[in-house]
Structure 1
Amino acid sequence: MSGHFKNILCVLSDTHDQDEVIEQAIHIAKSHQAKLTVLLALESLPPTASMVMESFTYLESERNIGSAAESWLSDKLNNWSGDYPIAGKVSFGHPFIKIISKVVKESHDLVIKLSDSDFPPDRLGSEDMRLFRKCPCPVWVVRHGQNRKYQSVVAALDLNYHYPAHEISVRKKLNMDILRHATHIALLEFAQLKVVHVFDSVPQHILREGFISVDEDALDSDLTAIHQERENELESLFSELEKELEPEVMDYLKPQRVIVHGYPRREIAATAASLGADVVVLGTVARLGVPGFIMGGTAEETIQQLHCAVVGIKPEGFETPVEIE
C-alpha cells in the first residue's frame, strides 16, 4: 500500500535543536520498519570568503568545518542510535540540491525535516518550499515544538475534475495517493482520519464586489449539485481504498468527511485548524510536465497558513526538474 516507507532521509539544516525531528524520524522509521539515514546539509562558505582569504586558507577552513561537522554528527548518531540503527552523512553546497540528488541516487521514499528555524513559526522557509515543489518523493515537514504523537490526521483533497481528460487521471491518482498516505499515518498513529475538500463556485469576492449578479435560487441549486458531485467522487475514492485494506479497517477508522463551500486558498487551512489537525497530507504538484507547478498556488498558500506538520505528495510519474549532481 502506498504510504509505507522503506528508506527515509532525515535532513538537518544545522546543529541546533534537532532532537525533536530526529525523534519523529525514528518514530516513523520504527513504525514502518524502514532504513533511516540522517543528512546534515550545510551551506558552503560564501564565495566572498575566498576574496578575504588566501585560497589555501579558504580550503583549509572548509576542511576544518567539514571535519567538525562529521565529528558532531558521529557523536550524535551514537546517542540517537541507541535502540534503532541510523546512518549519517554531511554535505556542503546548496542544501535542497544535495537533498534531492541524494533522494534520486539512493531511492529514498520520504524526506523528513524540521521547518526552517530562521523563519517565523507561521511561515515555512525557502528550502522547505523548494522541496515541496521539486523533491520527487513525499516531504514531511515538522514544526518546532510540535507533539510527536498525532491524534488528528487530515487529508486535503481536490475533487474538482473539470479539467482536460489527460489531467483528470493525474488528479484522481494523486487524490488516491494522498488518501492512502493519510490513512497509513492514521493507522500507525492510532489517530482520527479526517478528509477535507473545499469547493468554490463563483468566487465570493466577485459576488461581494458586485462584479456579477446571480439568481440566488439558481446559485443554491448549483451549490447543492456541486456538493453532491464531490460527495460521489469522495465515495468512489473510499470504495477503492476499502478494497486495498484488510476487512473492517474502514469500520475501525471511521473517517470523518468534511466538504466545505468556500475559497480553497483560505478555507483548507482554516478547516484543518478547526479539526485540530496535527498533520495535513496534501498534493503539492497537480500537473506533470510543468516543473514546480503547485496547484495554481492553492497548495502553496495553504501550506504557508498551516501551523501543524505537513506531508506533501507528488503525482505518480513526477520527475524533479533539479539537475542531479
Structure 2
Amino acid sequence: MRHFHNLLYVSHGTADDTEGLKQALSLARNNAAPLKVMVVGPEFPREFPNYQKNYETLLLEQVEQSIDTTKAALELPHDAVDIRLTLVADRTPAIKVIQEVIQHGHDLVIKEAEPRDKRGGFKAIDMELLRKCPVPVWLCKPISHSRQHIKVAVAIDPETQEPVTEQLSKRMLELSRSLADSCSGDLHIISCWDYEFEGYLRKNVWVKTPDTKIEETVLKAKTDHRAALLNLINTSGIHGPHRVHHLRGDPSDQIPRFVRDHKVNILVMGTVARTGIPGFMFGNTAENIVQQLSCSLMALKPQGFVSPVKAF
C-alpha cells in the first residue's frame, strides 16, 4: 500500500548523508514516490560574493555524490527513484523546510537526526520540525541491520475520547504494519497503562481501603485498557504477525526502555496537538519520549493540525 506520494529529504550538504539517504531512498522506492532533496545551508557571507556560486555548486555536488554512493549500496538502478535537488540558504532552516512542505504538497519529511550524546534524543531543528511541521516527520538514526532484520514498533494509547485521536492511532497501526512488512515482518505494538491512585489508596491513613478492593480495581483498570487496545488493533484492519506489549508505568520511561532493550530500529508514534487552530502543543509525554530515543522515529500528527508557520 502506498502511504506517501511526494517525499522531501532535508540535507545540510556538509556531512555524510548516507544513513539518512538509505532510509529516504528505501521509502521512496517502497512507495513508488518521487524524492525531492532540499539542501539547507546557512546564508553565505555578503563579504565574499564572488565565492557564493562555487560554494553552492560544491554543496550540490557533495549531495549528488552521497546519493550515488547510497544507490550503489542499496543496489538501486540509476532511474529507480525520481530525484530532484534544490538549494536554500537561510538563517531559519526549519521554517524554510515547513514552507517548502506547504507550498509544494509534500506528505513526508525525512531528515538525518542531528548528532547528540549517547543518551539519544533529537536537537533543536529536529524538535522544531516535530512541533510545527504539518506532515509526518521521519528522523533517521543509523540502522546497521539488513532490511530483513529491521525491527519496527508503534506506540499506541487506546484510551481516547476524541475521534480524531482514534483515527490517528489507526493510521499509525496501518503505517507501522506496512513498514514492518517491508522489513522483518514482525510488528511490536506498545501500550502503557497504570492506576495512579493505587499508591495513594494503600498509604492513606484516613481512608482505609481493603487490599482486595484495591487489587480488584487495579486489575479492572489493566483489563479495560488491554481490551480497548485489542479492540483498536482489531478495528484498524491490520493483518500479519504482531506482538502486543502491555506495559505498566509511565510511557516516558517505559517506551524508551523498551526501544533500548528490544533493539527497536524504527518507532512510529503520534504527537499531541490542538487540532483546527494554529499552533502546536507537543505534549510533555511525547517530548520526553522523543528526547530519549536511540532509534529512527516516524512522528504523525492528528488530522486537522494547523502549522503556525505560514506558507510565505
TM-score (norm. length: structure 1) = 0.82
Aligned residue number for residue 91 of structure 1: 88
1:222-280 alpha-carbon deviations (Å, 9 max, x no partner): 222222222222222222222xx6xxxx2xx2211111111121112112333331111
When residues 214 and 91 of structure 1 are mapped into structure 2, their CA distance, relative to the original with a 3 A threshold, is farther
How many Å separate the matches in 2 of 1:309 and 1:208? 40
Aligned with residue 189 of structure 1, among 159, 166, 183? 183
How many Å separate the matches in 1 of 2:224 and 2:232? 13
When residues 222 and 106 of structure 1 are mapped into structure 2, their CA distance, relative to the original with a 3 A threshold, is same
Contact 1:196 1:268 (C-alpha < 8 Å) held by counterparts? yes
How many Å separate the matches in 2 of 1:211 and 1:127? 49
- Aligned residue for 2:291, secondary structure, equals helix
Identity %: 25
When residues 171 and 15 of structure 1 are mapped into structure 2, their CA distance, relative to the original with a 3 A threshold, is same
Aligned residue number for residue 289 of structure 2: 302
When residues 75 and 274 of structure 1 are mapped into structure 2, their CA distance, relative to the original with a 3 A threshold, is closer
205-214 or 185-194, which deviates more: 205-214
Contact 2:201 2:214 (C-alpha < 8 Å) held by counterparts? no
- Structure 2: gaps spanning 5 or more residues: 72-77
How many Å separate the matches in 1 of 2:85 and 2:52? 19
Aligned residue number for residue 52 of structure 1: none
1:201-226 alpha-carbon deviations (Å, 9 max, x no partner): 21788789989977443332222222
CA-CA distance at 1:324 after TM superposition? 2.3
How many Å separate the matches in 2 of 1:214 and 1:278? 47
Contact 1:204 1:263 (C-alpha < 8 Å) held by counterparts? no
CA-CA distance at 1:25 after TM superposition? 1.1
Q: CA RMSD in A?
A: 2.8
232-241 or 314-323, which deviates more: 232-241
**Is 1:171 paired with 2:165?**
yes
When residues 123 and 77 of structure 1 are mapped into structure 2, their CA distance, relative to the original with a 3 A threshold, is closer
Aligned residue number for residue 248 of structure 2: 261
- Aligned residue for 2:158, secondary structure, equals coil
What is the aligned length? 300
CA-CA distance at 1:309 after TM superposition? 0.9
Aligned with residue 281 of structure 1, among 264, 268, 275? 268
Aligned residue number for residue 120 of structure 1: 117
Contact 2:273 2:305 (C-alpha < 8 Å) held by counterparts? no
The AA in structure 1 aligned to 2:37 is V
- Structure 1: gaps spanning 5 or more residues: 50-54
How many Å separate the matches in 2 of 1:97 and 1:18? 21
1:46-103 alpha-carbon deviations (Å, 9 max, x no partner): xxx5xxxxx5x35445444334323434555565563433111111111111111111
Aligned residue number for residue 107 of structure 2: 109
- Aligned residue for 1:108, secondary structure, equals coil
The AA in structure 1 aligned to 2:24 is A
Aligned residue number for residue 74 of structure 2: none
Contact 1:203 1:263 (C-alpha < 8 Å) held by counterparts? no
When residues 205 and 306 of structure 1 are mapped into structure 2, their CA distance, relative to the original with a 3 A threshold, is farther
